[in-house]
Amino acid sequence: MPSIANYRGIIPAISCPFTADHRIDEPALRKLASWLAGHDGVVAIMTNGHTGEVFSLTPSERAEVTRIVAVALDVMPPHHWLRFGFTPGHALQYFDAIHRAAPELDLVCHVYPAWTRASYSSQLLAELARLPYLQAFKVGQRDMNKYARDIQAIREADASKAILTCHDEYLLASMVQGVDGALVGFATFIPQLIIDLWNAVKAGDLKKAMAVQALITPLKDAVYGGGEPTGEAHARMKGGMYLAGVLDNATVRPPTEAPNAREMEALHAAVQQAGLSKR
């Protein structure tokens, strides 16, 4: 039985609040998780993603964050695959080993960008979709042709598996491809706007969806600029969350750098434009 009943909707990849001396701020993390979970349309919360500055957390800290919030596992490709690549057999063995180590938890397949050497083929995604313990796919190909082919391959292999876009930087364009929701770090900052966008897409109301996206775009530009999510983008997101009153402390851990004055000015303008400003 799946450990999470429903993956279809919005799943924020949660930011990890820190104290001023860079320790995990457990009360702030619990408060943020509770606030996110209180939104109608948020169906789960993901920890220890890039948005949560996982690269700066020790293994014990990652376990602590998971203990506080999570009941499923987002399976990222091993880092060395990014340089050396892998075989389909490697991937299948990898997922099987994780399942055997934690059989009580669902697995979510994190699909990396098509330009990396850790990108899964459509055929491999179909094989993964047939694994009974894998419940969802977090898809971030950043290549719309491959994105469409991969969605079709997963659907044909097992239509019961949830497919969630993780294209924070172009949400509307990726939501209209027939997915089941979004698993994005951006939703830790603006969950309601992303829920509103998803509801408009589900209703087939393109005009409303475009209007919501128009509110999101300045925030997206202030956080991500013209690129993909990065450590500094997540720092800018924390800055925006502070301005919106979501966080009381926007501290990030080195080597991630806090937003500079110009970036904070752009964030302030975007947050005000969206009607979210609290500071």
Q: What is the CATH number of the domain that holds 195?
A: 3.20.20.70
* 91: in domain: yes
Distance of CA 262 to the CA centre of its chain: 26
* 112: in domain: yes
What would the DSSP string read from start to end of 150-201? HHHHHHHH-TTSEEEE--GGGHHHHHTTT-SEEEEGGGGT-HHHHHHHHHHH
Query: Along the 279 residues of the chain, how does pLDDT read in single tens digits?
Result: 566 889 999 999 999 999 999 999 999 999 999 999 999 999 999 998 889 999 999 999 999 998 888 667 789 999 999 999 999 999 999 999 999 999 998 999 999 999 999 999 999 999 999 999 999 999 999 999 999 999 999 999 999 999 999 999 999 999 999 999 999 999 999 999 999 999 999 999 999 999 999 999 999 999 998 777 777 999 999 999 999 999 999 999 998 999 999 999 999 999 999 999 998
pLDDT at 161: 97
pLDDT at 228: 76
* 186: in domain: yes
CB 210 within 8 A of CB 36: no
* 276: in domain: no
pLDDT at 10: 98
pLDDT at 2: 65
* 174: in domain: yes
pLDDT at 143: 96
pLDDT at 124: 98
pLDDT at 70: 66
Please confirm whether the linkage preceding 255 is cis (ω < 30° from 0): yes
Domain count along the chain: 1
* 1: in domain: no
State the first-to-last Cα distance of the chain, in angstroms, to the nearest integer: 45
pLDDT at 229: 78
- Token pair of 132 as six digits: 């009974």
* 278: in domain: no
pTM: 0.94
Supply the range of the domain harboring residue 24.
9-205
* Whole-number Cα distances in Å, 247 to 107, 144, 242, 243, 278: 29, 34, 5, 8, 11
* 80: in domain: yes
